[in-house]
Copies of this chain bind each other. A is one copy, B any other.
Amino acid sequence: MLEQFHVPEDSAVRVSHTALLETAKAMFERVSVPHDDARIAADALVRADLRGVDSHGVSNMLRTYLSACKSGVINPQPTIKVLCETPATANLDSDRGLGVVAAPKAMDMAISKAKDVGVGMVTVCNGRHLGMASYHAMMALEHNMIGVCVTTAAPRVVPTFGAVPRMGTNPIAVAAPAKREPPFVFDAATSVISGNKITIAHRLGTKLLGGWVPDDDGVPIMEEVESPTHVMPAILPLGSTREMSSHKGYGLACVVDILSGILSGGGYGIFPGRPYNYHMVAAYRIDAFTDVDGFKGMMDEFLQTLKETPPAPGYDRVLVPGQPEWEMEQDRLANGIPLHEEVIQWFRRTCKEMEIPYVLE
């Protein structure tokens, strides 16, 4: 059902992730992003493409980030300031820098703090869009830590009983390592559906499923509808209706606003001063609680048991969080990342304009 958001194979060109990484890095450098930062930013985008999260990869976000760097909405050469620091915490002002660079730097700091005292938790204010939230959470995995990332977005989601958007889609990402199993990676908007999926459906004019959006008055629409073309629809919180506990999705969105926006001193979802985004990343050192090997072994058992759950009629298997993305990553590492012909043309054109060698095909 969500495959509609992937590029159809017959209009796609498969490109290697290393070529895509080099190209994206060079493009970031052309808009004045320093070399090391450009590498981080390109890696975050390409990792999203590898994992099948196309909405947060090069085709959807690269041009947005590049034009924001050119226009000054994003500061390509920020000076990140530490506003507050304790052994386990920090609050950073990212100086309007690329979120895909500031968040990994904040996560590095959280990991370092977790090495010292068991937990590291770093908030970021004065920030910009950080791409795929799980990219930052997953940074903890190789350090035998659990990683967390939450971030606010511009208001598109109505509160339960509300007629007007008040929160962003405010995703939560949590990553935890296993031993033989691929890592557990949860990454989800606290709205019923991500903002990018609504945007794409709106652009393509495809149908919106029941429970995704409210009508103009805020009443949840529970049957399939054409996406309105006159206006971008608002989005319902996870749970869709009060009866199905939309107050839980709404409450979780508030938690994200509090832990990133308000705790960083930046602002909440509908605070004036957009396009600010606020982030919180955290790392929990596993051996600050329990034996790492025992933890990973138990993660294997847990994930295997979930996968072996007898499926309901009509489904052939039960998935675990991060599994579809991991399977996609294996395929795309081996066979390349499918990019839509329109995206390929944009790369050809932009490489030429920026005088970057075109190496994607």
Interface of A with B (CB < 8 Å)?
A: 1, 83-84, 86-91, 116-119, 121, 123, 146, 158-164, 166, 172, 174, 176, 184, 186, 188-190, 192-193, 209-212, 214, 217-219, 238-245, 247-252, 254-255, 257-259, 262-265, 267-268, 270, 284-291, 294-295, 298-299, 301-302, 305-306, 309-315, 317-321
User: Complex formed: what's the CA distance from A164 to B311 in Å?
Assistant: 8
CB of A196, distance to nearest CB on chain B (Å): 14
Beyond A238-B238, A267-B298, whether A88 also contacts B119 by CB under 8 A is yes
25 pairs from A and B in contact (CB 8 Å cutoff): A83-B290, A84-B287, A84-B290, A87-B118, A88-B88, A89-B118, A90-B289, A161-B311, A161-B312, A161-B317, A162-B310, A166-B309, A176-B262, A186-B255, A188-B245, A211-B241, A212-B244, A214-B312, A218-B313, A219-B313, A239-B239, A247-B319, A247-B321, A258-B302, A262-B302
Beyond A290-B263, A318-B159, whether A86 also contacts B117 by CB under 8 A is yes
Residues of B within 8 A of A311 (CB): 161-163, 218
Residues of B within 8 A of A119 (CB): 88-89, 119, 121
Residues of B within 8 A of A247 (CB): 188, 319, 321
User: Complex formed: what's the CA distance from A197 to B92 in Å?
Assistant: 43
Contact assessment for A270 and B305 in the assembled complex, using a CB-CB cutoff below 8 Å: yes
Contact assessment for A162 and B309 in the assembled complex, using a CB-CB cutoff below 8 Å: yes
Contact assessment for A117 and B87 in the assembled complex, using a CB-CB cutoff below 8 Å: yes
Contact assessment for B298 and A262 in the assembled complex, using a CB-CB cutoff below 8 Å: yes
Q: Sort A-B residue pairs by CB-CB distance and give the 5 closest, nearest first.
A: A218-B312, A86-B118, A89-B118, A265-B290, A162-B309
User: Complex formed: what's the CA distance from A135 to B3 in Å?
Assistant: 42
Which of A164, A243, A265 gathers the greatest number of chain B CB atoms within 10 Å?
Answer: A243
CB of A95, distance to nearest CB on chain B (Å): 17
CB of A53, distance to nearest CB on chain B (Å): 14
Beyond A263-B295, A295-B262, A298-B268, whether A288 also contacts B166 by CB under 8 A is no
Residues of B within 8 A of A243 (CB): 1, 209-211
User: Complex formed: what's the CA distance from A18 to B218 in Å?
Assistant: 43
Residues of B within 8 A of A245 (CB): 188, 192-193, 238
Contact assessment for A238 and B248 in the assembled complex, using a CB-CB cutoff below 8 Å: yes
CB of A167, distance to nearest CB on chain B (Å): 8
Contact assessment for B164 and A309 in the assembled complex, using a CB-CB cutoff below 8 Å: yes
Residues of B within 8 A of A287 (CB): 84
Contact assessment for B91 and A289 in the assembled complex, using a CB-CB cutoff below 8 Å: yes
Other than A188-B248, A218-B310, A219-B313, give 5 A-B pairs with Cβ distance below 8 A. Answer: A1-B242, A161-B319, A174-B259, A211-B241, A218-B313
User: Complex formed: what's the CA distance from A126 to B288 in Å?
Assistant: 18
Contact assessment for B239 and A306 in the assembled complex, using a CB-CB cutoff below 8 Å: no
Closest chain B residue to A248, Cβ basis: B188
Q: Which residue of B116, B239, B270, B319 contacts A238 across the interface (Cβ within 8 Å)?
A: B239
Contact assessment for B118 and A121 in the assembled complex, using a CB-CB cutoff below 8 Å: yes
Closest chain B residue to A295, Cβ basis: B262
Which of A86, A193, A265, A311 gathers the greatest number of chain B CB atoms within 10 Å?
Answer: A86
